[in-house]
């Protein structure tokens, strides 16, 4: 406690730039003889905004400092007024909890991971330079998207004078090849082939035409930093595509001007490690509370055969076998449980409305930092879906007594078999997908729930005709 009291005032003075120093602040910096006595703290409100900006606040990597910072010159007396202002504002994060508990207890400071949290409601898109290169992703094998695709390309090339990138198999479509009116635009398009050409450092903006699959495909093309994604609803479901194509010119102009609301959709960083994994043979049922000792695994490094960024989910299932899948689930190197059933889904909040939602998981807003673990048809009535913190590392392996192998897929792609000794390591990626909102990140999500999934839709209960009916019903 004493060491932390010595450091905090100096840090606050350096950050605030204040030239006025009190007698106590000079004493903390060693300019006056130290008086060893208990420091009497002024009363502080736990929910005061100075805790929102003045403490050690952990954050996901690569997010900017909060713009809604509080001046360190504000006194404790003005804190209630500032708190009233903040309470009337629009915040999606809850207040940062007070790190002091009673007169003598506090959270141990961790200076190695100190950043400020930016509230999601203030996440706005801005351009450091005007965007020049746009990637257009179109749903293939859908003839109804040919005209919207051509209109968008004409607008971007002729009116906006941008460089447009399109996948080669889209340009080679027979209907486009035979359209003479589009030939001038087609010759100006830059083409690429997935798996052969790397365009990750060339694209400034991604525009998707189709359904949710186009946004998943865009995520797979960028295994590092992802450009902003603008998705138009022209597919079957369109839960992740909030924009209507009828007004695409106006909407694209707004995005180019900047200041559009964005939602950072977290992704999963997944590694498939082949061989070398071993678990000490210790009966799982004998472990206290079903948790094995911390040193029960062999940490020898294996061969990483695949490393991916996943937007929706990682699915481990029993494949073509008729036996139950039997896989072990670890959290930060500790055995949590064994999954016996058709499989298990590890998903992001964005994926909570996809396969995980169909398997019984709760629907979670994409800005909630979490990882969901959802069993698929578990052979246990008590196996409920769980939500774990975003910073943990999950690992899935075949149980030693598993009768068959398992299969894994990543956003429905790159399906492969998992053998004994293989492991799948999953944690939250520091490269989210910045999805541009049509209205804002709260309205868009609930609008998609209502329009696409018909969330909580039922025939409304009719009201009673008069007061006497209620008493008669109760009797």
Residues designated as active site: 212
Q: For the purposes of burial, counting CB atoms within 10 Å of the CB of 306, is it exposed (0-12), middle (13-18) or buried (19 or more)?
A: middle
DSSP β-bridge partners for residue 406: 418
Residue 359, CB-side half-sphere exposure with 13 Å CA sphere: 26
Q: Six-digit token pair at 360? A: 């019984």
What does the alpha-carbon distance between residue 125 and residue 226 come to, in Å, rounded to a whole number? 13
Contact by Cβ (8 Å): 386, 373? yes
**Residue for token pair 């035409």:** 209
Beta-carbon contacts of residue 279 (< 8 Å; ≥ 6 apart):
296, 297, 298, 328, 335, 397, 400
CB atoms within 10 A of CB 228: 19
What does the alpha-carbon distance between residue 374 and residue 364 come to, in Å, rounded to a whole number? 13
**Residue for token pair 């910072």:** 69
User: Kind of pairing, strands 334-347 and 268-274?
Assistant: unpaired
Q: Contacts by 292-299 with C-beta closer than 8 Å and gap 24+?
A: 292/334, 292/335, 294/333, 294/334, 296/334, 296/335, 297/330, 297/333, 297/335, 299/333
Q: For the purposes of burial, counting CB atoms within 10 Å of the CB of 90, is it exposed (0-12), middle (13-18) or buried (19 or more)?
A: exposed
N-terminal to C-terminal alpha carbon distance within the chain: 65
Provide the angle, in degrees to the nearest 10, between the axes of the packed helices 248-257 and 146-154: 40
Contact by Cβ (8 Å): 270, 431? no
Residue 432, CB-side half-sphere exposure with 13 Å CA sphere: 20
Q: Six-digit token pair at 53? A: 């900006």
Q: For the purposes of burial, counting CB atoms within 10 Å of the CB of 199, is it exposed (0-12), middle (13-18) or buried (19 or more)?
A: middle
């Amino acid at each position: 406690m004493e060491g932390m009291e010595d450091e905090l005032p100096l840090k606050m003075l350096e950050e605030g730039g204040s030239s006025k120093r009190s007698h106590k602040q000079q004493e903390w910096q060693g300019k006056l003889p130290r008086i060893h006595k208990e420091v009497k703290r002024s009363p502080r409100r736990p929910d005061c905004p100075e805790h929102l900006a003045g403490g050690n606040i952990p954050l996901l990597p690569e997010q900017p400092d909060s713009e809604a910072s509080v001046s360190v010159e504000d006194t404790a007396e003005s804190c209630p007024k500032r708190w009233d202002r903040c309470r009337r504002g629009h915040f999606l994060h809850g207040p940062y909890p007070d790190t002091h508990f009673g007169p003598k207890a506090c959270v141990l400071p961790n200076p190695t991971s100190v950043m400020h949290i930016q509230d999601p409601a203030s996440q706005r898109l801005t351009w450091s330079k005007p965007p020049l290169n746009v990637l257009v992703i179109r749903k293939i094998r859908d003839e109804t998207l040919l005209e919207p695709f051509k209109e968008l390309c004409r607008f971007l090339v002729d009116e906006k004078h941008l460089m447009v990138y399109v996948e080669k198999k889209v340009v080679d479509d027979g209907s486009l090849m035979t359209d003479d009116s589009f030939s001038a635009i087609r010759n100006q398009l830059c083409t690429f082939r997935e798996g052969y050409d790397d365009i990750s450092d060339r694209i400034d903006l991604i525009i998707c035409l189709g359904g949710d699959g186009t946004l998943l495909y865009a995520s797979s093309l960028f295994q590092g930093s992802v450009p902003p994604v603008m998705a138009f609803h022209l597919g079957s479901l369109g839960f992740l595509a909030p924009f209507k194509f009828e007004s695409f010119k106006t909407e694209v102009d707004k995005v180019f001007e900047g200041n559009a609301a964005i939602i950072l959709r977290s992704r999963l960083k997944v590694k498939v490690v082949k061989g070398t994994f071993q678990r000490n043979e210790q009966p799982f049922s004998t472990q206290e509370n079903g948790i094995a000792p911390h040193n029960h695994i062999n940490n020898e490094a294996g061969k990483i055969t695949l490393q991916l960024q996943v937007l929706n989910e990682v699915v481990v299932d029993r494949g073509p076998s008729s036996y139950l899948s039997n896989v072990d689930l670890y959290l930060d190197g500790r055995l949590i449980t064994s999954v016996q059933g058709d499989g298990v889904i590890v998903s992001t909040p964005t994926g909570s409305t996809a396969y995980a939602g169909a398997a019984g998981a709760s629907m979670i807003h994409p800005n909630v930092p979490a990882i969901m673990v959802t069993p698929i048809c578990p052979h246990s009535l008590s196996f409920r879906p769980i939500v774990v913190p975003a910073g943990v590392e999950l690992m899935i392996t075949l149980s030693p007594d598993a009768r068959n192998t398992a299969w894994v897929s990543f956003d429905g792609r790159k399906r492969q078999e998992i053998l004994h000794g293989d492991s799948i390591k999953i944690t939250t990626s520091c490269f989210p997908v910045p999805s541009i909102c049509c209205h804002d990140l709260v309205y868009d999500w609930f609008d998609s729930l209502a329009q696409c999934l018909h969330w909580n839709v039922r025939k409304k209960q009719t009201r009673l005709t008069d007061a006497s009916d209620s008493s008669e019903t109760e009797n």
